[in-house]
Structure 1
Amino acid sequence: MNKVLLIFFLFFHSTLSFADNSTDTASTNEEPIVSPEALGLSSPRETFATFLHSMNDIKRGHSERINRATSTLDLSAINPLIREEKGRDLAWMLLEVIDKTKIVTLETIPNRKEGAPYIFAQYQHGTISLSKSAHGHWLFSQTTLSSLPDIVEELSPKKRLKVDDDNAQYIPWHIQFRQQLPDSLRARSFLLENWKWLGIFLSIALGIIADKFTSFSLQILVKNFRRKTRLPAFKDTPEDMLRPLAMLVMAAIWWAGLNLLALPDQAMIILLVAVKILAGIAGVWGSYRLVDWVTLYLQYQASQTDNKVDDVLVPLIRKTLKVFVTVIGITFVASNLNLNVSSLLASLGLGGLAFALAAKDVVQNLFGSITVILDQTFHTGDWIVVNDIEGSVEEVGLRSTKIRTFYDSLITLPNSIFITAKVDNMGQRRYRRLKCNVSLTYDTPPDKIEAFCEGVRELIRLHPYMRKDYFHVYLNSLGASSLDVLVYVFWETPDWGTELRERQRFLLDILRLAKNQQINIAFPTQTLHLLTPNDLTEEAAAQPTPPSVEELSEQFKQSAKNIVSQSMNTENKPPPVKF
């Protein structure tokens, strides 16, 4: 929320600088000029006819005709931010003045397309006149529009010449209300009339009261929803989930109050800009809360599946929707303020080159996140190694991926790295390997060594997590101080914690097997023999004459044949190892 407020603060600061010059901005984006004949503005008579017919159509229920009526008014001097609201009020004021002046006969109004301005009527506080604009349109002049409030006040005691009981309901509310007020409230004590100050105060108070009341009601609604819902995902819904809706109600009340009070243009511009931006902030904030609420449901659904792709997609969807909502909110406020978004970006100092360089990194990170999702390089919770960084994946976003290292620090990597980097996904291993040597003492009989190896193989077959279709347990080397039995096995475990537990159980069972069968585990030792010269003399005298090398070789060959004949069939070659 703080980021949203910061963005909109900068946006509001820029829009205020645009407010005084928004007329120039609007002129650069005008629609193609339409001929006066097509608009019904080619002469004073046609302009009068267009205005009166449009206003009568509105009374018959065609409210969209108000735009046609305001097209007969020269509103170019009015700031575009309030042009629509002021145009509606001025149209009804003009109709009120005309109805109290005289019954209009169109044939008496000149139908000329050139010439001096046409004056319909003169009053003590101004005139009703039409003049030709630079585009050839005959419009009610700017001086007429600026003097309309005073003329309406001047004619307030008079009655309409044309009786129309329904006409009063279309007159702007502030005109009807002002006419009923005493002179003390219509007096101007400071900048504005007293009744307008009172109206501003009441609008602010009513908006704040409505905000508090709506917020309290919505909290009760959320509490009842959390209590009655059957989905576990919605049990954690925050109580202030719908708080932005209360702010929208407050902004709507203030917006309506500003339009009803008919404040001076400059005050109207400042206050209306503030209220519209407040409505935009509330709308974006409310949309953020809605996205979070939907994300709760998506996260719950993702947790119910074995597929980890959806665990990665849910945070991406949440961030994408929030970026989209922010763009929509800024566009909404900009359109209501009649601002050019490109000019706004230029005012914030975002040059073309800087924006292009920033966009380059954004696009690379975006494609990196797409690569991770499509290739399923890793998922949330996987143990990965990227370059010299090792840890478990906590979150995959649009711009970056967060990795929690095994010393509990959090590393943020831009997703562009994953386009070219080598990722070692330890979490995607089907099996967890153990390769070690079990060292036995040299005094262990060969038969016991072979029996010990078979006992270890049986342990592998009995342990539930161990791979049964591929393992090796054999006497592998004659070490310096031990007989080394190679143990090469695998576990099929879902995570590292289960692997550690099962590895411990297996190794402890090996130790128990060796203890039960009275096999000693070796450790590095050295044996030192001390002989005196007398021992050497006696040992040499006791030794018989050694046999020749040929006799010894024949003796060892015969011993080898006897050993091999006992352990295997020498006539048939043993088949390869199969599981």
Structure 2
Amino acid sequence: MITRSLFFFLMIWSLSVHAGGGINPAAIVGMQSSSSQEKSVDVTVEKLNLTQPRITVKHFIKAMDKVAEGDNSAIEHAVSTFDLSSVSPLIRTERGRETARLLYNIIQIAKTPKVSEIPENPKGKQYTYLRTDNGNIVLKLDEQGDWLFSPESIEAIPDIFNELSHNKELVEKSSAKVSLPVSVRLRSDIPEFLRTGFLLEYWQWIGLFLIIVIGSIADKSLAFLLKLHIKRRKQKHALYTELDDDVLRPLGLMAMALMWWSGLNLLGLPDTALLILLVAVKLLVSISGIWSAFRLVDIFNAYWTARVSRTQTKYDDLLVPMITKSMKVFVVVMGIVFAADNLNIDVTSLLAGLGLGGLAFALAAKDLLGNFFGSLTVLMDRPFHIGDWVVIGDIEGMVEEVGFRSTRIRTFYNSLVTMPNSILTTTKIDNMGARRYRRMLTKLAVTYDTPPEKIEGFCEGIRRIIQLHPYMRKDLYQVYFNDYGAASLDILLYVFWATPDWNTELRERHRFLLDVLRLAHQMEIEFAFPTQTLYLKRGQNGVPKASPYSPAMSQEEAFAKAHAEAESIVGQTLGDRIPGPVEFPR
């Protein structure tokens, strides 16, 4: 399956989610030390007792000692001793962890006071832990009564470390416990002339260029491999023939964005530059992730659409598009939450804010909920399927698509009607496509000069045609002389076809009517037209013929003669037998 080709990238992505909800780029490129087994970072850091400078420094050193022993989750406790209020929330996690490693190495290199030498209750609201020419490391008392490393100290720690890192023996000795940030190790090996520059140092400009090139190569390479894989799949499996060769192209963009995200955290960029670039890359990761998930849903849709087209039931033809649309809605919602989390937007507060306008939202969403329940009605009650001929209100046509908001019907004059699903819960639905039999009710009008015997034979011939036609219903049909029309003798024709669709019905109706017409020609039956006969008389012409009924005949004599004629006719056609109910041959 295509999923196997994506397994590596999706596993990397899922494993690299860290406590802040984003992606840990170091885990992606494998820059962390592989000698120690990293433990998952605990998202919730317990509230520490930092009521004294001595306790704050002790907690920091104790947490970093655990990091040195391989418990990387303890670095969150060390970061909790920093006042990071001046650092943007978008880069606060990365900057806090880097600063913790630098400060721990500074404590190993510099001559800092021992924990026991730090006063418990210093005078004033700040305590200077270390003084250097490039800045001081100071602990300040905040409004909550906690002693934290001040924002000024956080900003000065990189410069302080650079000042102390000229002694490589001390640096190597300190970094043996807790590894330095990658940017610091890279910078220590860079020639001196590359450590200067405009806005950024020269080596950082070079690093940015290399990261862009490597990410672009990864994008093109992965896109080419996935395109080749899709082409091979299309050759082997007909299920994927409708897919575009570049259906998985967004995965290349996502791989490129992840590499850029990884690289930005390796260069030790200034806060302003890192913030701008990181926001852009996080947005690119979010957009490419949503786009990639959309394309994977398209593959799912193509696969199952081809599968269900081979089945006899039409319920899955309705179910697959609705599942596909549901998955896309889910992808969009999760993508927005993921993007907001990566940009450090408080999604919980945002959702809670929506509750303030709950009533207005409910009123505005009334139609939306009605359409949603209408789609559930279609899904559960199944009043029609894709391709059925339906009559809903004054709309008649073939069901083309059913979504969560609306249903699309292709009318017989080829227009497309979009109907809100809320109508389906209150409107009568006449599903013509669900008929087990297709009925035809008509009358055959023959001329008045057609003999009764010929009408009898013509009706019996039509009955025989019905019995011989394969699609016609044999257990229920009516062919009888039914009415005296104004200009014709009318024969009732009431028949059914057991056809699966309208096209077959039209074909069989065509064959049946032509056979009836051929039978009429063979038996010299003439069909009547609406006519009127006009008689013109000019006086008395000749002597009228003698009539068996004379004007002088009494009523009793007339009734007796009529009874005798009727008994003679019925005796010839029926005799003494009483016919039973109509039964059809089985």
| Cα 1:184/1:560, change in 2 over 3 Å | same
The corresponding residue for 1:129 is: 138
Equivalence for 2:33: none
Alignment partners' CA distance in 2, 1:204 and 1:50: 40
Residues 84-483 of structure 1 correspond to what in structure 2 (within 5 A)? 84-102=93-111, 105-112=114-121, 115-159=124-168, 161=170, 164=173, 167=176, 170-189=179-198, 191-229=199-237, 232-341=238-347, 355-483=361-489
The question of whether the paired residues in 1 share the 8 Å contact of 2:240 and 2:303 is answered with yes
1:119 deviates by 1.9
Alpha-carbon contact 2:240-2:302 (below 8 Å) kept: yes
The structural deviation recorded for 1:132 is 2.2
What is the SS of the residue equivalent to 1:134? coil
Counterpart amino acid of residue 132 in structure 1: L
Identify the residue that residue 583 of structure 2 maps to in structure 1.
578
**Helix, strand or coil: the match of 1:525?**
coil
Structure 1 residue 359 displacement after superposition: 1.9
Deviation at 1:226, TM superposition (A): 2.3
- Distance in structure 2 (CA, Å) of the matches to 1:143 and 1:545: 133
SS state at 1:475 partner: strand
* Cα deviation code 1:155-207 (max 9, x no counterpart): 22124658737528711111222233334322232x33333233222222222
Partner SS for 1:430: coil
Contact 2:101–2:178 (CA under 8 A) maintained in structure 1: no
Going from structure 1 to structure 2, the CA distance change for 1:127 and 1:454 (only over 3 Å counts) comes to: same
* Distance in 2 of aligned mates of 1:417 and 1:195: 66
Aligned mates of 1:467, 1:564 — CA distance in 2: 32
Query: CA RMSD of the aligned region, Å?
Result: 2.7
The answer to whether the 8 Å contact 1:384/1:392 transfers is yes
Deviation at 1:35, TM superposition (A): 5.7
Gaps of 5+ in 1: 1-30
Q: Structure 1 pair 324/238, CA: closer, same or farther in 2 (3 Å)?
A: same
> Is contact 2:112–2:130 with CA below 8 Å preserved after alignment?
no
Of 40, 46, 49 in structure 1, the residue corresponding to residue 55 of structure 2 is 46
Report the equivalent of 1:81.
90
2:71 paired residue among 62, 67, 83: 62
Aligned counterpart in structure 2 of residue 491 of structure 1, from 464, 486, 497: 497
Aligned counterparts of 1:344 and 1:541: Cα–Cα separation in 2: 106
Give the letter for the 1:537 counterpart: N
- The question of whether the paired residues in 2 share the 8 Å contact of 1:441 and 1:483 is answered with yes
Asked if the contact 2:64/2:75 (under 8 Å) is kept, the reply is yes
Q: Give the direction of change, closer, same or farther, for the CA distance of 1:149–1:554 in structure 2 (3 Å limit).
A: same
Paired residue secondary structure (2:265): helix
Q: Name the CA distance, whole Å, in 2 between partners of 1:169 and 1:228.
A: 53
Instruction: Describe the superposition over 1:282-325 as per-residue Cα deviations: whole angstroms up to 9, x where unpaired.
Output: 11111111111112222223223222221111111001110011
- AA at the equivalent of 2:134: H
Using structure 2 for the length normalisation, give the TM-score.
Answer: 0.86
Q: CA deviation at 1:528?
A: 3.8
**In structure 2, what is the equivalent of residue 567 of structure 1?**
573
Q: CA deviation at 1:277?
A: 1.5
Q: 2:537 aligned with 1:548, yes or no?
A: no
Q: Which amino acid aligns with 1:367?
A: F
After superposition, the Cα gap between the structure-2 partners of 1:271 and 1:464, relative to the gap in structure 1 and judged at 3 Å, is: same
Residues 42 and 113 in structure 1, CA contact (< 8 A), matched pair in contact too: no
Structure 2: any 5+ residue segments left out of the alignment? 1-42
Q: Structure 1: how far apart are the matches of 2:203 and 2:170?
A: 30
511 and 425 in structure 1: CA distance in 2 versus 1, 3 angstrom threshold? same
Structure 2: how far apart are the matches of 1:51 and 1:228? 60
CA–CA distance in structure 2, aligned partners of residues 376 and 480 of structure 1 = 47
Secondary structure class of the residue paired with 1:538 = coil
How many angstroms does 1:254 deviate by?
1.1
Cα-to-partner distance string for 1:404-443 (whole Å, 9 max, x where unaligned): 1111111111100111111111111111111111112222
SS in 2 for 1:314: helix
Change in Cα spacing, 1:162 to 1:486, as seen in structure 2 (3 Å) is closer
Where 2:324 maps in the other structure, the secondary structure is helix
Partner of 1:539: 543
- 1:512 partnered with 2:518: yes
Q: 1:138 to 1:159 in 2, by over 3 A?
A: farther
Which is further off, 480-489 or 100-109?
A: 100-109
2:445 match: secondary structure: strand
Structure 2: which amino acid aligns with 1:286?
Answer: S
* Percentage of identical aligned residues: 49
| Structure 1 contact 99–160 (Cα < 8 Å) conserved | no
Shift of 1:145: 1.0
Matched residues in 1 for 2:478 and 2:409: separation?
A: 36
**1:162–1:302 CA distance, 2 compared to 1 (3 A):** closer
Q: What is the CA–CA distance in structure 2 between the aligned matches of 1:207 and 1:334, rounded to whole Å?
A: 24
- Contact 1:211 1:247 (C-alpha < 8 Å) held by counterparts: yes
Deviates more, 1:98-107 or 1:480-489: 98-107
Counterpart code for 1:50: H
The separation in 2 between residues aligned to 1:47 and 1:541, in whole angstroms, is 138
1:261 aligned counterpart, secondary structure: coil
Find the aligned partners of 1:562 and 1:354 in 2 and give their Cα distance.
86
> Secondary structure of 1:371's partner?
helix
Contact 1:36/1:136 (8 A) holds in 2: no
Distance change >3 Å, CA 512–CA 545, structure 1 → 2: closer
**Given residue 287 of structure 2, which amino acid in structure 1 is its aligned partner?**
I
Aligned length: 539
Q: Name whichever of 77-86 and 207-216 sits farther off.
A: 207-216
